[in-house]
Structure 1
Amino acid sequence: MARVKRGSVARKRRRQVLKNTKGARSANSKLFRSAQQHNMKALRYAYVDRRNKKREARRQWIVRCNSATRLYGIGYSQFINQLAKSQVRLNRKVLAQLALSNPEDFKNILQLVIEND
């Protein structure tokens, strides 16, 4: 069997791992073995936090909608229930943006929903 020399491939892989862990502290950015472990953990956290980011965004939209609806004397859950009954197809993201940027439009939607009850 022929001998396989893989010095350049291994060096490239190690260089890439060290480049990815550039901002880490102490040996995690200097030594390959600990840098590789640090990199694997960082990638795992990145994967998880991409999902958590969506969760946090939805949570923020709900808080904004709730605070906007409470100004007009209705709770968030009642508001969402009335939206569903009146078949208004606006998601929470759009409602939160309306509550922040166009409070008059949000008020109109709220009145439309309450009237259909």
Structure 2
Amino acid sequence: MRVKTGIVRRRKHKKVLKAAKGFRGASGDVIKQAKQAVMRAMAYSTRDRKVNKRKMRQLWIIRINAGARLNGMTYSTFMNGLKKAGILLDRKVLADMALNNAEGFAKLAESAKAAL
């Protein structure tokens, strides 16, 4: 007995076209091109999640370095001093402190200097 794939195929196509909503030109409404565009977009999104983490870490390091230099240290000596002082704060928290809590960051810098 012959089985037609009408419902199954329609559901798959609708799923792809929903993911391709907003794409320009044929990529948004022609199933073959939409499928290719969605696959490419998924690959980019997977890659760029890693890139985003990398860029945020770079930004945190830049902010910590700026705060450390205001307190007469470089980034590497500041981080080394914190490690020797036993202060276990991650870069995200340190960058936030350097930006929003300068006096607290200055106290950390003093304790890092003392530990060296």
TM-score w.r.t. length of structure 2: 0.95
1:73 Cα offset (Å) = 1.4
> Structure 1 stretches of 5 or more lacking a match?
none
Whole-Å separation in 1 of the counterparts to 2:115 and 2:58: 27
Are 2:105 and 1:106 equivalent residues in the alignment?
Answer: yes
**1:11-59 C-alpha deviation (Å, 9 max, x unpaired):** 0110111111111111100110000000000000011111111111111
Structure 2 letter corresponding to 1:112: S
Whole-Å separation in 1 of the counterparts to 2:77 and 2:112: 10
Q: Secondary structure at the match of 2:79?
A: helix
How many residues are paired up? 116
Q: Secondary structure at the match of 2:17?
A: helix
Match of 2:32 in 1: 33
Percent identity of paired positions between Structure 1 and Structure 2: 41
Match of 1:97 in 2: 96
Structure 2 letter corresponding to 1:19: K
Are 2:51 and 1:68 equivalent residues in the alignment?
Answer: no
Root mean square deviation of aligned Cα: 0.9
The 4+ residue runs of structure 1 with deviation greater than 4 A are none
1:4 Cα offset (Å) = 2.2
Whole-Å separation in 1 of the counterparts to 2:55 and 2:97: 19
Whole-Å separation in 1 of the counterparts to 2:78 and 2:53: 22
Structure 1 letter corresponding to 2:25: S
Q: Secondary structure at the match of 1:9?
A: helix
Whole-Å separation in 2 of the counterparts to 1:32 and 1:44: 18
Match of 1:87 in 2: 86
Whole-Å separation in 2 of the counterparts to 1:4 and 1:108: 74
